[in-house]
Structure 1
Amino acid sequence: MTTSSHSLRNLDSKKNLFRQSLQNLAQKKFSKFPSYPSNSWVSRLPFSIDNENIWFVSQLVCPVVLRNRMRGEELRLCRCSSHSIPHVTDLEFDILISNQLSSPEQITVVCVYDFSSAEGGALKEIEELYARKNRTRNMPCLQGRLDSFRLLKYNISTSDEFTDHAGSLLVFRHNVAPGMFLMYIQGKLLFANYVLNGYSTSAKDLQKQIVKTRNDYHLGYHLPNDFRVRYGQVMAPIPTVFPSSKFPSL
């Protein structure tokens, strides 16, 4: 076993313990937390709950608050930008995509890039989509928890910044590369590819792919946890999905 793979496994173990701690807190704090329809005022305005509860929600849905919590630092509320997609790093990745307090069928879309690919092209268009979705929000991670999908950015060049391993977790796990999109529901990987809807990487095709991905989920399909991209097939839709009962969730 390499040092890198050993460090990643240690990180997984630590995150599992922290995830269980947060799950226990969530069950205790939000067992009676109201469930609002997606078009409710709560999806557009700050939650009408006390500051302590907002902080606990932030730990489960905001990558910045969760990351600071895991590092032992204080940042009590989501203050993510309403016009720039939040970054997720290796440290909090698995906990965040589990969507402990989000809509049960919310799709988490992870946009992979690095410094060499910059943030132009398709990612710029998807940033604009994010800005349109969140233009009236001052705590977008909290206020978007009932949205049908959420957007996150993952920078391969810096994803390991707060960990004790060198190199990207998603490169190690899935062989991802800049320009790829990954889609998850409740921690299950349902899509990993360069193209959306089989055609392009536009925001319009992203939304079409989200619909298709949700339909696949309803049929009980998702990719295995150890799925790795094969670059000979990068410009074609991933041809095979697997029954969810065959593979454990993250």
Structure 2
Amino acid sequence: MAKEVHSPTRWAASPSDCPLVLRKLLRRQDIRAGCRCMVKAPLVSDVELERFLSAPRDPSQVLVFGIVSSQSPGRTAQLQWVLDTLYNHKQQGRASPCIQCRHDPYRLLRYDLHGPLQKSPALLVKRFAVVQDMILMFAGGRLLFGGRVLNGYGFSKQNLLKQIFRARQDCKMGYFLPDNYKFSVSAIIPSLEDSEPAKKAAAGDLEGSVSSLALGDRVDEEMASPVDVK
């Protein structure tokens, strides 16, 4: 009986790795330019969202979506800055980031609620009732986390990386939010512009309601983890 060979390129490159390439493919446009997502985290639109989420990839890779709004960019300026800063650090020197990041533990992405290609309402609004300034985390097409308060505290690069690590641990344990989960956050979660005390005061209620961490807090506060936090 022949021995099964596990190829290290199991998650080979495909057009679905890059949201822009996938979008052009679905719209029957020229894709020869390939991936050019070298400056900002790729923007995912409703045209390719479902196909992108369900595309074959490492099932432990966490897809981190920053929910922004082109109608009120000032309200999501901090979120954009954090995503761009981390993205530029991780993708430095990569000619085709969406292809070369397929073995990374996580990917950073943007989702514009009011982009020109969005449905009305936008798919993530219809599916999960998301609002701008939120972070969503998926793995294997399933939702792991959603909220504005990261790691139980405020919004920062450090807390985002820690929340990604926690989401990866939840993924390994099989802890996901229900497929029909709806967020109810517009009134109870402080925005990125609110004060730090307000964020901390809300954190206790938020972790139980918007994160799969409610199923068990198995956080190793040491950052010696698979997540790249350099």
Bin for the TM-score computed over the shorter chain: 0.7 to 0.9
Instruction: Determine the structure 1 residue equivalent to 2:64.
Output: 109
Instruction: Report the count of equivalent residues.
Output: 190
Do residues 98 (structure 1) and 54 (structure 2) align?
A: yes
Do residues 203 (structure 1) and 154 (structure 2) align?
A: no
Instruction: Determine the structure 2 residue equivalent to 1:228.
Output: 182
Deviation at residue 172 of structure 1 after TM alignment: 1.1
Contact 1:173 1:228 survives alignment (8 Å):
yes
In structure 1, C-alpha distance between the alignment counterparts of 2:117 and 2:26, rounded to whole Å: 10
Q: Structure 2 matches for 1:1-250, cutoff 5 A? A: 34-35=7-8, 57-100=13-56, 102-115=57-70, 116-118=72-74, 120-158=77-115, 161-162=116-117, 165-231=119-185, 232-234=187-189, 235-236=202-203, 237-239=206-208, 241=212
Report the secondary structure of 2:73's partner residue. Answer: coil
In structure 2, C-alpha distance between the alignment counterparts of 1:153 and 1:186, rounded to whole Å: 18
Structure 1 unaligned residues grouped into runs of 5+: 1-31, 38-52, 244-250
Cα-to-partner distance string for 1:13-55 (whole Å, 9 max, x where unaligned): xxxxxxxxxxxxxxxxxxx994269xxxxxxxxxxxxxxx8xx
What amino acid is the match of 1:35?
P
Pair 199,221 (structure 1): closer, same or farther in 2 beyond 3 Å: same
Pair 128,33 (structure 1): closer, same or farther in 2 beyond 3 Å: farther
In structure 2, C-alpha distance between the alignment counterparts of 1:33 and 1:60, rounded to whole Å: 22
TM-score by length of 1: 0.69
* Alignment RMSD (CA, Å): 2.4
In structure 2, C-alpha distance between the alignment counterparts of 1:36 and 1:206, rounded to whole Å: 29
Task: State percent identity of aligned pairs.
Answer: 31
In structure 2, C-alpha distance between the alignment counterparts of 1:124 and 1:33, rounded to whole Å: 39
Deviation at residue 126 of structure 1 after TM alignment: 2.2
In structure 1, C-alpha distance between the alignment counterparts of 2:28 and 2:131, rounded to whole Å: 31
> Which protein is richer in helix relative to its size?
1
Structure 2 unaligned residues grouped into runs of 5+: 190-201, 216-230
TM-score by length of 2: 0.75
